[in-house]
Amino acid sequence: MEQFLQYLFYAFLIYLALINLIAAIVTIYDKQISKRPRGSIRRIPEKTFVRFSLLGGGIGTLLTMLSIHHKTKDHNALLLKIALWTAVWIVLLLLLLRQNI
């Protein structure tokens, strides 16, 4: 049973890595679209970034947004929502690590 929990924990870590990678790619893609003329290509809605954070991709979203300066000016509510969900996932991960899995 303990070995199964370890495999489950590693699968969870792989999931978090993949969701954060996808979130970072989507953020970079939206930044590239934002440089094009308005209306030429449909932008990624802000709620998509929050959903990625809800699913565990907050670190990838937040770090990418801050590093490429995307939606960081005048989007404080968006950044706060992403940061809060990121904090929830970090606490969850720390609780799992504390269980000595």
Q: In this predicted model, what pLDDT tens digit does every residue of 39-85 receive, in sequence order?
A: 788 999 999 999 999 999 999 999 999 999 888 888 889 999 999 99
What is the rounded average pLDDT for all residues in the chain?
91
Angle between helices 58-68 and 2-34 (to 10 degrees): 30
CA–CA distances in Å: residue 65 to residues 7, 20, 57, 76, 93: 32, 12, 12, 12, 22
pLDDT at 24 over 90: yes
pLDDT at 7 over 70: yes
Mean pLDDT of 33-43: 88
Could you tell me the pTM of the whole model? Answer: 0.87
pLDDT at 100 over 80: no
d(CA 85, CA 54): 6
d(CA 70, CA 83): 15
Report the number of distinct structural domains present in the chain. Answer: 1
Domain extent at residue 47: 2-98
